[in-house]
């Protein structure tokens, strides 16, 4: 009998495998999003919980039904569909009607994911595709924001404007920022403001991001380049005209910047694989976000920025590939 331990095996790359499984990664990201989910329910009550449940159930059901119709192996148990549902819900207003949340779940799973072959083959982030489709198709429902009511049911919440929407309106009408702009930074940081479920609490998102770094689910390249480019570019405009352009701190604690930088732009499927490419990708996301926020028609630009850079990912991967071990470039 040959000694099995001493046999030589020849195989193609990759030769090193991570211990993490798809299911473990999805569960870790879901755990990291739980603080943001809890804060959204605290500030917006039962409507926020309802949106979360409808989106999660809708995504799981859509994936199971779609895979059954296509005659393919069921994949909803790996947690990716549930994660897509949570991310979609965190990109929706608390007052989103159930039918719109369900429609978004179908768009995310069927149109943006399963049509391309399922997890690992989708070129764009499914939750962001659904958000943009809903925002363009149903602008009234997607821009109706509820005022936070900490600890309440949220069923009788008043409508309000988001800080970014208020800034955009004031600049368009008067050419200047609102007089109280920047005076509510602490409220913005903890989540006491109007906005999408996942946009309101920078504190909860940072807690989840620390968990992802600790579990080594994400690296620093995309979040730091994304946030850093927003701070640098936003800071330049602010220094030029502080009466018209908001401060970098305002950019950080309002809108979906932190949600996008830590949880959406870092999607392993739709972002570059090499560290240099990740930095290019994150920087592009930040630049586009600032330009849309300051000069675009929408007050928020994170979703559009990430989707645009998703489209550029194959090109970035092509020109930012790491040099092969032992490879020497030809001399001219």
Q: pLDDT tens across 271-315, in order?
A: 999 999 999 999 999 999 999 999 998 889 999 999 999 999 999
Structure token pair of residue 315: 């090109």
3 has pLDDT over 60: no
Residue of higher predicted confidence among 37 and 324: 37
Average confidence (pLDDT) over 245-265: 93
pTM exceeds 0.95:
no
13 has pLDDT over 80: no
140 has pLDDT over 70: yes
Q: What is the SS3 string spanning the chain?
A: CCCHHHCCCCCCCCCCCCCCCHHHHHHHHHHHHHHHHHHHHHHHCHHHHHHHHHHHHHHHHHHHHHHHHHCCCCCHHHCHHHHHHHHHHHCCCCCCCHHHHHHHHHHHHHHCCHHHCCCCCCCCCHHHHHHHHHHHHCHHHHCCEECCCCCCCCCCCCEECCHHHHHHHHHHHHCCCCCCCCCCHHHHHHCCCCCCCCCCCHHHHHHHHHHHHHCCCCCCHHHHHHHHHHHHHHHHHHHHCCCCCCCHHHHHHCCCHHHHHHHHCCCCCCCCCCHHHHHHHHHHHHHHHHHHHHHCCCCCCHHHHHHHHHHHHHHHHHHCCCCCCCCCCCCC
Q: pLDDT tens across 209-240, in order?
A: 999 999 999 999 999 999 999 999 999 999 99
pLDDT at 191: 79
Q: pLDDT tens across 38-93, in order?
A: 999 999 999 999 999 999 999 999 999 999 999 888 888 889 999 999 999 999 99
Most confident of 134-138, 163-167, 188-192, 322-326: 134-138
181 has pLDDT over 80: no
pLDDT at 186: 85
126 pLDDT band (50/70/90 cuts)? very high
332 has pLDDT over 60: no
Residue of higher predicted confidence among 198 and 330: 198
189 has pLDDT over 80: yes
1 has pLDDT over 60: no
pLDDT at 5: 60
pLDDT at 156: 73
* Percent of the chain at pLDDT exceeding 90: 66
Q: pLDDT tens across 97-117, in order?
A: 999 999 999 999 999 999 998
On whether the CB atoms of residues 248 and 298 are closer than 8 A, the answer is no
22 has pLDDT over 70: yes
């Amino acid at each position: 009998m040959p000694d099995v331990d001493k046999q030589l095996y020849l195989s193609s790359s990759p030769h090193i495998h991570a211990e993490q499984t798809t299911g473990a990664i999805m569960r870790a990201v879901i755990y990291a999003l739980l603080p943001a989910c809890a804060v959204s329910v605290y500030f917006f009550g039962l409507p926020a919980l309802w949106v979360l449940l409808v989106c999660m159930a809708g995504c799981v059901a859509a994936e199971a039904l779609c895979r059954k119709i296509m005659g393919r192996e069921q994949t909803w148990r790996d947690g990716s569909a549930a994660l897509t549902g949570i991310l979609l819900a965190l990109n929706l207003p608390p007052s989103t009607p159930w039918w719109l949340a369900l429609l978004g779940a179908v768009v995310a799973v069927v149109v943006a994911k399963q049509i391309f072959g399922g997890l690992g083959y989708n070129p764009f982030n499914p939750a962001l595709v659904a958000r943009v489709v809903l925002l363009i198709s149903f602008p009234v429902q997607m821009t109706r924001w509820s005022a936070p009511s900490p600890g309440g049911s949220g069923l009788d919440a008043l409508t309000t404007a988001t800080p970014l929407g208020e800034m955009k309106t004031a600049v368009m009408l008067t050419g200047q920022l609102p007089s109280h702009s920047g005076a509510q930074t602490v409220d913005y940081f903890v989540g006491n403001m109007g906005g999408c479920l996942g946009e309101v609490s920078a504190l909860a998102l940072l807690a989840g991001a620390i968990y992802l770094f600790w579990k080594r689910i994400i690296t620093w390249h995309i979040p730091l380049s994304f946030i850093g480019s927003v701070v640098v570019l936003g800071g330049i405009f602010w220094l030029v005209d502080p009466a018209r352009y908001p401060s970098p701190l305002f950019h950080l604690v309002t809108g979906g910047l932190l949600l996008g930088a830590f949880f959406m732009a870092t999607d392993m499927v739709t972002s570059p694989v090499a560290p240099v490419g990740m930095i290019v990708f994150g920087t592009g996301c930040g630049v586009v976000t600032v330009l849309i926020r300051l000069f675009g028609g929408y007050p928020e630009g994170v979703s559009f920025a990430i989707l645009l850079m998703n489209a550029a990912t194959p090109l970035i991967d092509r020109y930012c590939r790491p040099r092969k071990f032992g490879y020497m470039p030809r001399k001219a």
